[in-house]
Structure 1
Amino acid sequence: MSKGRILVVEDEAIVALDIQARLLRLGFEVAGHAATGAEALRLAETCRPDLVLMDVLLGGPLDGIDTARELVLRRRLPVVYLTAASDAATLERAKETSPLGYLPKPFEDHELSVAIEMALVKFEAETRLKQSERLLSTTLGSLAEAVISTDKNGHVTYLNASAVELLCISASRAIGRHWSELFSILDEASHEPVEGLEELCVPHGAAQQCEDMILRTPAGRETPVALSVSPLYAPDRTNGREGLHGRVLVVRSMALRKRAEADLRNSMAALRTTFRQTVRALASMAEKRDPYTAGHQQRVARLACAIGRGMGLSQDALEGLEMAGTLHDVGKVYVPAEILSKPARLSHLEMGIMKSHPEVGFEILHEVNFPWPVARAVLEHHERLDGSGYPGGLKGPDICLEARILAVADVVEAMSSHRPYRAAMGLDLALAEIRSNRGLLYDAQAVDLCLELMLGGFVFDEPAPACSAATTSEEIA
């Protein structure tokens, strides 16, 4: 196989024939021979050689150096000069064309072979390197993230297109300037500036990701960003040891994500408001049929929330408790209005119908996908610790916590309020009821907190934030 196709550019015919013969003996293929610069340019286009052996001193308007310059510009061909000229001026001109070899005449076959093979290897390596650089440049230029590199002293050496857009400055104006002249990094929480990129760097070979940062330009434009800073290490020419060569800062704008998060929080807040309004409308529907106990569910919900808060329930659990309290008697829509408003004691049959309201409420609510056990709390709010309650006769821990809290709040509010068949029994009797049955019928902790609240001046109808009113947009997120 041929070691490579060589174009010989030599104006002395005998020398040219000798070189071609040598090349053939050394295993190379002669792509052609040219005696002038113009002919060399034409043959380079048609013969497509791998390398050009160029005599420096050619006759005609183009000498060897001018011809080599054109070859490099047009086809980026590797050139090895062949010449007897060694004066300083000629050598300086030749260097401008970045030749891959310089072989003085006369030369031996092995010198010619080594010069050509070394030139081809070097040219191939340089070609691969340039291809890699182009690929890297294209990749970095197409990234949505801003990429900024600096030297070890913090002076900018590279910006991609996204960095130019983010910083609102051209690459030519930015390169060579210290990064702190182009932007500053602030901590989002404290809004305090980070003094140096080294503060964001971590040990050799790693990169630190910072999510909640702000990039500020000298014009005062602020952009929420996530960024990482990676140190670059390279051997030190003076001692050969590896040292810090520079840093690469990758910045991702978080403005769109922040706006999306804000929109989501607003949507969630609006959805929760609609959800709560729907729950209140459902509760109001049940109370319309029983005007004598209007407001009972809301008052029970308020007291239950106060008890739950004292028990250390989370804000989310308190919201679920409020929902359960607001809906705990929704099953009374099944009870005839004449039973609900009967101004006398209920018969055994009528009481049986009245006692069905927890199960009816459960049937209404269990298909609703609440994030809390609302339907179960409604079903169990008349259960008692000793198993004497209804509808399931559950005991102790088998009754969910929300239902145990509602049971205490429901009894206290019901006994304190008027009913069609009796006048209000008063708060004292209501508190005596839960106190005497503390741990027997009613949850002991719920009773203790209820007594503390009522003796502390708790008022059912006093305007106060609902359980979920403290839920902020941040908590929703």
Structure 2
Amino acid sequence: MDDKAISILLIEDNPDDVRLVREMLARAEGARFHLECADRLSTGLSVLAADEIDVVLLDLWLPDSQGLDTLGNVLAEAPQLPVVVLTSMDDTATAVKAVRDGAQDYLVKGQVDSNLLARCIQYAIERRRAEEALRRSDEFSRSILDSMNDAVYTISVSDNKILGCNRVFLEQCGLKEEEAIGKKCYEVTHGRSDPCTPPITCPVRATIDGAEHSVSEHVHYRADDEKIYVEVCASPIRDESGRIIQAVVVSRDVTERRLAEEELEQSFDRLQRMLQGAVNALAAMAEKRDSSTAGHQQGVVHLASAIAEEMGLSEERIEGIQVAGIVHDIGKIYVPAEVLNKSGKLTGIEFAMIRAHPQAGYDILKTVDFPWPVAEIVLQHHERMDGSGYPQGLRGSDILVEARILAVADVIEAMLSHRPYRPAHSTGEAFEEISRNKGTLYDPEAVDACLKVIMERGFHFR
């Protein structure tokens, strides 16, 4: 919790209970509270719509609303706010139902002291923040899946039911999400009513039977009975005991390749390796979970490409820089959202989490068979010419040219952008940073090229 007073809305029609809550909050230690009160649900909902409230203390029995409907009305008006029920009804069933319906806690009047009330309020706020961070993480993971060109879906190994899928899978099958989720995989992809049997090789079954990864080619049928050829790669997801509970499957439409197999023969091995690497990265992401700043990454890519072009790098190397730039902060998915968005000074542990993101990004990408050293560029993009960077403390020519270019573009874009802990710097301040440290922190040629493309070629971030 920060030092700002916690704004509480107490919806309670009993003046004595209002006075008691006010007195308990005044005596509570460790936090400051600002209490607003409403004696009707309708009044409370008006306050929620007009004021910035951190948490709601709610009596379920009010003159204009009774029981759990009261909770439902508050959550409908302010679903993002934590709600703590404070009622005289000491009933376990009601308490459990209230928490299931969305209350953060259920307190009984007469059984609460000052410190307990204060702790419950603070815990409720922190739990809601954690839930919101998890929601954002889920949204980010979903956006990654939906940006892929391959169909991705997860299957329960106990009953072969599809648990989740991305946009491409639905397009590949010609279905809506509600028509695929909960259905058995062989019903959706093969149009069968029973599980696949030899000679059909089931990659999910192979995974369950012990194969760490399984790759095979299949014929799938769309909802309109159109036949498509797909390459399917499955990888296990395990629980804490090591038991396989799900399989993550990547399905790539290879119909054109199958119909023109002779032309694509030479590229098959590489395609298979890239698909395997994508599954490895996806499985690691599913197990460890996380957010990235897409605007920042696109800005870095745009500037780094211009710098590389000015320095005379080949189109192939510039393409490698673009790919590395897009994913250079992918390791931040392992950093808690509250650390990334923290507006105050980072603690030593939090700063160490941030500094670990190049290594985390490398670990995610190292098995992907890119035609460029993408993982190494990501690993080195915070190295500095004098060895003061991280994570390896590399110096000068030991740092890849692509990483040195990315470092300059990263610093410029970051300084010119607003961050939670500071406003954006001016262009002059950004130029001063790289010019003053040219040759010490930043590659001289990259700095000169950066200044030239911005000052002489009129570069602007898109």
TM-score for the superposition, normalised by structure 1: 0.47
Highest CA radius of gyration, 1 or 2? 1
